[in-house]
Amino acid sequence: MPLKFEHSDVIGRAMRLDDLDTLGIASQTLAEDAIMAGRNEEAVTLVNYFLSEMQIMHGIMWTWIEDIIRFIIEKSGADEAMDVQSSAGIMRVFKTMQLGIAPRDRCMEAIKSGDKAAAIDWLDRMRLEFRNPHDILVAWVQDLLSYCADTWGEEAVLETILHTHQSIWGDRYEKWDLMTPHEKVALTVEGMRGGHFSGPRRRGDMDVWEEEDRFVISMDPCGSGGVARRGDPETGRDPYPITDHGTNQESHLWTWQKTGVHWYCSHCSIAMEWLPGRKRGHPLRPLDHSLDHDAPCVWYVYKDEKETREYHYPRTGLVKPEDVG
Tell me what pLDDT residue 325 has: 43
Average pLDDT over the chain reads 94
Question: What does pTM read for this prediction?
Answer: 0.94
Cα(36)–Cα(43) distance, integer angstroms: 9
Cα(217)–Cα(281) distance, integer angstroms: 23
pLDDT above 90 as % of the chain: 85
Tell me how far apart the terminal alpha carbons of the chain are, to the nearest angstrom: 37
The answer to which of 3-12, 76-85, 109-118 has the lowest mean pLDDT is 76-85
Contact 241, 229 (CB under 8 A): no
The tens digit of pLDDT for each residue in 246-289 reads 999 999 999 999 999 999 999 999 999 999 999 999 999 999 99
Tell me what pLDDT residue 244 has: 77
Band of the pLDDT at 1, cuts 50, 70, 90?
Answer: low
Q: Calculate ∠ Cα 135-137-139, nearest 5°.
A: 70
Contact 125, 103 (CB under 8 A): yes
* Residue-range domain boundaries for the chain: 5-316
> Which residues make Cβ contacts (< 8 Å) with residue 205, sequence separation at least 6?
24, 25, 26, 29, 193, 198, 199
Contact 208, 186 (CB under 8 A): no
CA 205, 273, 211, 306 torsion-angle sign:
negative
The tens digit of pLDDT for each residue in 118-176 reads 999 999 999 999 999 999 999 999 999 999 999 999 999 999 999 898 888 888 888 99
Contact 215, 185 (CB under 8 A): yes
Cis peptide before 321 (omega within 30 of 0): no
Tell me what pLDDT residue 286 has: 97
SS (H, E, C) 220-260: CCCCCHHHHHHCCCCCCCCCCCCCCCCECCCCCHHHCCCCC
Q: Which residue has the higher pLDDT, 87 or 192?
A: 192
Write the single-letter amino acid at 61: M
Cα(92)–Cα(97) distance, integer angstroms: 9
Tell me what pLDDT residue 323 has: 57
| Residue 212, Cβ density class (10 Å: 0-12 exposed, 13-18 middle, ≥19 buried) | exposed
